[in-house]
């Protein structure tokens, strides 16, 4: 690339050109051509990137995670679902429940103080029993 005021020399013919500037601009036709190519390439990259992100979203939405612990077993007709018995102290009340995947956290308030029981819904077993102790 040359500065507008410097003449360019054609390496094949040896002819000197004045680097003709397009009317109304400070750019040569070669610079405009390079700019057009750069704009087209960047536009294609933007459209391609957007299409890739859109395709990834559609793929993730149509193929949910195949995590075995998150897939519920089908209930056969005439058969009940999983039955879990949680021993609750006399006078205690359930104040909150929270589900995360296949774990259920039950918050109990009783005479002995608040406690949290974590139950694995896949097996029906109590995984953790936490007694909250005030300080």
Sequence-distant (6+) residues with CB within 8 A of 91 are 110, 111
What pTM value is reported for the model? 0.42
Query: What are the φ/ψ torsions at residue 67 (nearest 5 degrees)?
Result: -70, 120
Q: pLDDT exceeding 90 applies to what percent of the chain?
A: 27
The CA-based angle 67-72-76, given to 5 degrees, is 145
Instruction: Give a yes or no: residue 81 inside a domain.
Output: no
Instruction: Give a yes or no: residue 113 inside a domain.
Output: yes
pLDDT, one tens digit per residue, over 16-61 is: 455 687 788 888 889 999 999 999 999 999 999 999 999 999 998 8
Instruction: Give a yes or no: residue 22 inside a domain.
Output: yes
Indicate the number of domains in the chain. Answer: 2
Instruction: List the end-to-end C-alpha distance of the chain, in Å, as a whole number.
Output: 76
pLDDT, one tens digit per residue, over 5-18 is: 455 555 555 554 55
Give the domain extent around 15.
8-62
pLDDT at 71 over 70: no
pLDDT at 127 over 70: yes
> Rounded to an integer, what distance in angstroms lies between the CA atom of residue 26 and that of residue 24?
7
Instruction: Give a yes or no: residue 21 inside a domain.
Output: yes
One domain, residues 52 and 93: no
pLDDT at 72: 55
One domain, residues 20 and 53: yes
One domain, residues 58 and 91: no
């Amino acid at each position: 690339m040359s500065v507008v005021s410097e003449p360019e020399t054609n390496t094949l013919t040896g002819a000197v050109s004045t680097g003709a500037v397009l009317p109304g601009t400070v750019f040569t036709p070669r610079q405009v051509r390079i700019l057009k190519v750069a704009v087209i390439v960047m536009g294609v990259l933007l459209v391609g990137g957007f299409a890739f992100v859109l395709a990834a979203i559609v793929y993730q939405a149509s193929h949910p995670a195949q995590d075995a612990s998150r897939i519920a077993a089908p209930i056969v007709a005439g058969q009940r679902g999983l039955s879990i018995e949680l021993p609750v102290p006399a006078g205690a009340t359930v104040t909150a429940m929270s589900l995360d995947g296949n774990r259920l956290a039950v918050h109990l308030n009783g005479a002995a103080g608040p406690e949290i029981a974590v139950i694995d819904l896949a097996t029906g077993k109590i995984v953790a029993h936490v007694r909250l102790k005030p300080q």
